[in-house]
Amino acid sequence: MRIFVLLSRIPYPLEKGDKLRAFHQIKMLSQKHEIILCALNPAKKADKQKAFEQLQPYCRSVNFIDLPAAVRMTNTLKALFSGLPLQTGYFFSSRAEKKIRTLIEEYHPDLLFAQLSRTARYLTSYRQKKLLDYQDVFSYGLKRRADKVPWPLKLVFRLEYNRMRSFEKELFDQFDIKMIISEQDRALIPHPEKEKIIVVRNGVDLEYFSPLSRSKRQEIVFTGNMNYPPNVDAARFLAKKIMPLVWKKMPETRLLIAGANPHPAVKKLQNKKIKVSGWLDDIREAYAGSAIFIAPMRMGTGLQNKLLEAMAMKIPCITTPLANAALQAKEKEEILTGETAQELADALLYLLQHPEKRKKMAEQAYTFVQKNYHWQKATSPLLERIEKDE
């Protein structure tokens, strides 16, 4: 089968969840199918040559379409007055639409694959069989953010939440196959037939993310794209609310916040006990150089790849019930969870003070990830569904 894959970003480097998911799904799909890749590019400094080199082995055709800032801003304003979600406008351009049409007419794909609702608008008018990867429920993430932003922004986020919720419902009927990252997210899709959405989890590259022997340069680490609002919120919650409770009993404890593009609010967290590293060429060093990984997520939806990576490297993990609902690790055996700053601080102190428990939990988490989250198994529901329609 020939599959036309449309993405909202170039899926390399793999520092964001949607890129990671797209890259590995393309890799898995290419084993039996022919891939025509089209990726929108809102990033002016993207290394397109490097990305092409990484993607070309898995694709018959690799195409990148730049979205200049002026185009994005103009079309976001148009979306504001059209009733569409603002992010659909942000990722839309007439030039991109023409290029996509040209590619579809040239290659005659059997299946059109849109990753994320923000790209779906480009494909809804075609007669070919269509697949939509909701990935996360964007509307619910917007609702959570609306609860935390200052009052003037609440109006914007609530408006976008309502529009996106309606849009997600409408898209259901416009695509033949729908998939999503977790049962938790599927339950939030506002459509009476949402159970028809197939759950296709993320996986982890178990060859790359494997245990490394390193000296522990810090006790605690949190990783991720540090310009992504849920990660920014989690980093501030960790540094300002959780760590002070840890320091009361263990004042020498050090924290590393590692990840690309740290927001100014994250950079301000750095002090003598907290290091904000920014981009690392090899994020594995951040995991391996730490005794404990924590992801105190209070916003967002979907599966946290950072937890899979840490577990695959035998680093014991702590997170919130929100994040573990998608992961589904066994509480107190494969992971510890906490809702409040005190609960999360207590979990950190418990593991810091009991190295034998850290080791046992890390081993159990490693087995859990090896069994459930390698990419071949994670992608199998998608592969099976596509093959069913051949």
CATH class for the region spanning 2-203+375-388: alpha beta
pLDDT tens, position by position, 48-93: 999 999 999 999 999 999 999 999 999 999 999 999 999 999 999 9
Exposure string over 161-192, b if 16+ CB within 10 A, otherwise e:
bebbbebbeebbeebebbbbbbebbbebbebe
Return phi, psi of residue 31, to 5°: -65, -30
pLDDT at 147: 85
List the beta bridge partners of residue 40. Answer: 65
Architecture of domain 218-372: 3-Layer(aba) Sandwich (3.40)
Domain ranges of the chain: 2-203+375-388, 218-372
What is the value of pTM for the model shown?
A: 0.91
pLDDT at 101: 98
Fold identical between 2-203+375-388 and 218-372?
yes
The strand order across the sheet containing 34-41 reads 61-66, 34-41, 2-7, 111-115, 129-135, 177-180, 198-199
57/168 Cα distance (integer angstroms): 33
Place of tokens 């730049």: 66
Place of tokens 């990867």: 133
366/362 Cα distance (integer angstroms): 6
pLDDT tens, position by position, 160-186: 999 999 999 999 999 999 999 999 999
Place of tokens 């593991």: 351
Q: Is the pLDDT of residue 268 over 80?
A: yes
Mean pLDDT of 314-329: 95
